[in-house]
Amino acid sequence: MHRWGPRLDWEHLQNWVPGVLGAFAAILLVVVAANSPTQNNSKKPVEVAQSQSVALATKGQAGTPPTPLQPAAPQASPVTNNTAKAPAPPAPAPVGTIAEAAKPAPTHDHAMVKGQAEPVAPAPLQSSSEPDKESQNPLAGAAGLQGDAVAGRQVFKKCQACHSLEPGKTILGPSLAGIVGRKSGADVNFSYSPAMKQAALTWDPSTLDAYLAEPAKIIPGNRMPFPGLKTDRDRKDVIAFLAAPASPPVAQAAANSPVANAAAPRATAPSASTAAPQAKSGSDAVYLTDAKYTLRTGIAEGKMVFLGVGGFIDGKANPILTAAEGQIVQLTLINGEGTEHDIVFPNQDAKSPRVNGKGASTTIVFRATKSGDFIYFCSVPGHQLAGMQGQFLVTPLPAAHTLVEADISREPGDLPPPIGKRDPKTVRLDLFTVEQEGRLAEATTFGYWTFNGKVPGPFVRVRVGDTVDVHLKNSADSNMIHSVDFHAATGPGGGAAALQVDPGGEKSMTFKALIPGLYVYHCATPMVAEHIANGMYGLILVEPEAGLPPVDHEFYVMQGEIYTEAAFGQHGSQEFSVEKLLNERPEYFVFNGSVGAISKLHPLHAKVGETVRLFFGVGGPNFTSSFHVIGEIFDKVYNLGGLTNPPLEGIQTVTVAPGGAVITEFKLHVPGNYTIVDHALARVERGLAGLLIVEGAPNPEIYNGTMTPGMGH
């Protein structure tokens, strides 16, 4: 028999067959892996997501304005055409869960915060053929812009006073639902500025980041006063929050709460869709100016200049100053380097005294009598040529004031009617604590802590002998524990010992109103002074059995202090300063929570011959008020808020301590504008002024003279 090779007996076969089979199996695995759909598609989700982002941006620019995207509906990925449909990733935790609400806001450093829990990350997708985590994130195509959506929700609190996350809902600004990938000026429910309409931007993450950093630089002329988010971290986090699927409407908790809509007292949500009623121009009001500027002399770029101090002129050399024809302008000049200086507005016949030493200052007040494009300069020989000249632009008519920040200030007429004679009963009081961003001054906002969304809290009115049934609910969106201490209550903490309420919680207690009078209530959670300084105070009136004598008008006014990190007059969202609070150095003094609250936004109105009753209190937390109405004498003063003794009569100024109150009454005899002040009058320059506008026929027997608007007394 012919043999083709060595004899293949069973012993040899056992030695080499396993090796051959092993090599064959390895080759087969490599071939299969190379042609596997899973392997081929392992990198495609990221690529598709990036190209999809570009396609969305292009479509937004070239086509018609897209419909605002629903936050709960993320864009479908083309990958799903070739693979099994991926299950939806877990939605972010709903508003008010511990994972979100317990994380402290970046603007405050607090002493007493509810115990926190770490947010739970969504479970990873199981199928290797499904889009990976990056492909689900619209930020995937923007290198370096990934942020923390949970932290971004806290940053968004600075925005939610003006912007909703509910599709199609406008507040002071357009809805931000589905903003990522949308074209600028595309929300059909909102009236944009011409600058925003013409911008033709697409809000991809990179564009949003640039706009949030410097809004005025990216879109000059847009009417949003917010100057931008200061840190990269805040911008990345808030963009991640806006881009996240199923972003919850965080601003709805307070508005939808049954407590917030309770009838006793009525919980007033911030009015955002309508402009506030306006007073006459401040040029008719004593102590109130329409345009206020501070300039400091100095050197810039080798020239002598005027340097702007505060507000939008801060740090600018020879800034453009503006006013409207007929308005009152107040200008403070500070000598910054020790050389003699003054300031002259030649076309307005205004000139300051000269300031000589370093740090010396002077203030001039004048009316802008002529409209046009003018100059101001230093008249010391040679200084104008050396660079000390700027532009003073006077427009023919003042522009109509438009409220562009959420108004948290309670209107002075927002209080319940007198109770009068009745038997004692149980009165339910619903209070809802809300932390929200609101208007501190024009183009300036602050993170307020409030009772029922306003500062001060609701005016509470009961009768002596009533039992007050207090229900305190803390918004699930709060970062802090809150409480309430009634100075009208007899018992531990004035009720605060029983009413320390966690975010999302609710507690109740009762107390009996034993002694008639006007009392302060405030939050009493440590640090108590911080809670009060952030706006958590109000008044409760316990009427005597027979009630109070009738008057034509009753008004509700409270004084407080605001401690911001930045100096008075800076624009944008202001952060709270614990250091300034403890050193008792407030940047702002305010009536009813904000600058201009009861002068420009909600002035008091009455007529000649009518009687007025003012319920006035000081929330503080630190400064005593010398309460005074310029041009009036209080006919009656219920000193210290007491109603068990006869009132004082014929009082000019009344002292009210922090945590104290007073009731004043007077009859109006002469028409005009009456300025409401703390007679520590330097505080007017930090925002503390109100306005009582009295209409009626002149009364020359009592007051006969030609009024000079804008001057003091």
219 DSSP assignment: S
Q: 334 is written with which tokens?
A: 């500070």
Q: 325 is written with which tokens?
A: 């024809």
pLDDT at residue 709, rounded to an integer: 59
CA 486, 490, 493 angle in degrees (round to 5)?
A: 55
Nearest CA to 424 out of 470, 469, 471, 462 is that of 462
pLDDT at residue 227, rounded to an integer: 64
CB 314 within 8 A of CB 331: no
pLDDT at residue 291, rounded to an integer: 82
pLDDT at residue 212, rounded to an integer: 85
Q: Is 11 domain-assigned?
A: no
Last residue of a domain, one of 343, 375, 395: 395
Nearest CA to 659 out of 687, 623, 606 is that of 623
For tokens 């869960």, the residue is 97
Identify the bridge partners of residue 119 per DSSP, sorted by sequence position.
none
Task: Name the percent of the chain lying above pLDDT 90.
Answer: 49
Q: 402 is written with which tokens?
A: 């438009």
Q: Is 362 domain-assigned?
A: yes
If one counts every other C-beta atom within 10 angstroms of the C-beta of residue 318, the result is 22
CB 141 within 8 A of CB 156: no
CA distances from 129 to 30, 38, 79, 220, 277 (A): 19, 6, 9, 46, 60
Same domain for 199 and 345, yes or no, is: no
pLDDT at residue 402, rounded to an integer: 52
CB 260 within 8 A of CB 432: yes
Of these ranges, 195-209, 219-233, 580-594, the one predicted with the greatest mean pLDDT is: 580-594
Reply yes or no: is the peptide bond before residue 456 cis, omega within 30 of 0. yes
Nearest CA to 125 out of 160, 88, 93 is that of 88
pLDDT at residue 271, rounded to an integer: 38
Of these ranges, 214-228, 318-332, 370-384, 645-659, the one predicted with the greatest mean pLDDT is: 645-659
Same domain for 565 and 623, yes or no, is: yes
Q: Is 413 domain-assigned?
A: no
Q: Where are the beta strands (DSSP E) in 21-163?
A: none
Q: Is the pLDDT of residue 131 over 80?
A: no
Identify the bridge partners of residue 509 per DSSP, sorted by sequence position.
470
Q: Is 270 domain-assigned?
A: no
Average pLDDT of the residues in 25-47: 42
pLDDT at residue 710, rounded to an integer: 53
Q: What is the CATH number of the domain that holds 352?
A: 2.60.40.420
* Phi then psi dihedrals of residue 497, to 5 deg: -65, -25
Q: What is the Cα 701 distance to its own chain's centre?
A: 48
Q: What is the Cα 194 distance to its own chain's centre?
A: 25
Same domain for 346 and 230, yes or no, is: no
Q: What is the Cα 481 distance to its own chain's centre?
A: 20
Q: How far apart are CA 434 and CA 421, in angstroms?
A: 34
Q: Is the pLDDT of residue 657 over 80?
A: yes
Same domain for 512 and 558, yes or no, is: yes
pLDDT tier at 191, thresholds 50, 70, 90: confident
pLDDT digits (tens, 9 = 90+) for 413-458: 999 999 988 999 999 999 999 999 999 998 899 999 999 999 999 9
| Selected residue with higher pLDDT from 264 and 385 | 385
> What's the mean pLDDT when you consider all of the chain?
77
Indicate the range of 39-53, 553-567, 666-680 predicted with least confidence. Answer: 39-53
pLDDT tier at 225, thresholds 50, 70, 90: low
Same domain for 440 and 382, yes or no, is: no
CB 580 within 8 A of CB 478: no
Q: 65 is written with which tokens?
A: 């304005």
Reply yes or no: is the peptide bond before residue 304 cis, omega within 30 of 0. no
Same domain for 299 and 165, yes or no, is: no
pLDDT tier at 324, thresholds 50, 70, 90: confident
If one counts every other C-beta atom within 10 angstroms of the C-beta of residue 213, the result is 17
Q: Is 627 domain-assigned?
A: yes
CB 446 within 8 A of CB 535: no
pLDDT tier at 173, thresholds 50, 70, 90: confident
pLDDT tier at 201, thresholds 50, 70, 90: confident
Start-to-end CA span in the chain (Å): 137
Same domain for 303 and 380, yes or no, is: yes
How many residues are there in the chain? 713
142 DSSP assignment: S
Of these ranges, 29-43, 73-87, 610-624, the one predicted with the greatest mean pLDDT is: 610-624
Label residues 596-630 b or e (16+ Cβ within 10 Å = b): bbbbbbbbbbbebeebbbbbbbbbbbbbebebbbb
Q: How far apart are CA 456 and CA 129, in angstroms?
A: 57
Nearest CA to 134 out of 34, 240, 246 is that of 240
- In angstroms and rounded to an integer, the radius of gyration of the C-alpha atoms of the chain is 33
Average pLDDT of the residues in 218-237: 76
Q: Where are the beta strands (DSSP E) in 378-455?
A: 389-395, 426-441, 444-451
pLDDT tier at 146, thresholds 50, 70, 90: confident
pTM of this prediction?
Answer: 0.61
Q: How far apart are CA 295 and CA 307, in angstroms?
A: 5
Element (H or E) spanning 589, and its range? strand 588-591
CB 372 within 8 A of CB 366: no
Q: 557 is written with which tokens?
A: 């006014």
CA distances from 453 to 104, 438, 604 (A): 20, 10, 21
- Domain membership of residue 616 as a residue range: 426-695
Q: Is 588 domain-assigned?
A: yes
Q: What is the Cα 32 distance to its own chain's centre?
A: 61
pLDDT tier at 400, thresholds 50, 70, 90: low
Q: How far apart are CA 454 and CA 434, in angstroms?
A: 9
Of these ranges, 434-443, 564-573, 590-599, the one predicted with the greatest mean pLDDT is: 590-599
Angle between the N-to-C axes of helices 232-243 and 205-213, in degrees from 0 to 180, rounded to the nearest 10: 140
Query: How many domains does the chain divide into?
Result: 3
Same domain for 302 and 442, yes or no, is: no
- Residue 399, sorted as left (phi over 0), alpha (psi -120 to 50) or beta, turns out to be beta
Average pLDDT of the residues in 572-583: 91
Same domain for 224 and 348, yes or no, is: no
Q: What is the CATH number of the domain that holds 140?
A: 1.10.760.10
Output the 3-class SS for 487-536. Answer: CCCCCHHHHHHHCCECCCCEEEEEEECCCCEEEEEECCCCCHHHHHHCCC
Q: Is 174 domain-assigned?
A: yes
Same domain for 528 and 636, yes or no, is: yes
Nearest CA to 75 out of 96, 103, 51 is that of 51
Last residue of a domain, one of 373, 395, 417: 395
Q: Is the pLDDT of residue 638 over 70?
A: yes
Same domain for 619 and 682, yes or no, is: yes
Q: How far apart are CA 47 and CA 76, in angstroms?
A: 14
CA distances from 320 to 310, 323, 402 (A): 13, 10, 22
pLDDT at residue 161, rounded to an integer: 62
CB 211 within 8 A of CB 173: no
Q: 117 is written with which tokens?
A: 């829990």
Describe the strand order of the beta sheet including 690-695 as a list of residue ranges.
604-607, 690-695, 672-678, 625-629, 654-656
Same domain for 141 and 191, yes or no, is: yes
Q: Is 224 domain-assigned?
A: yes
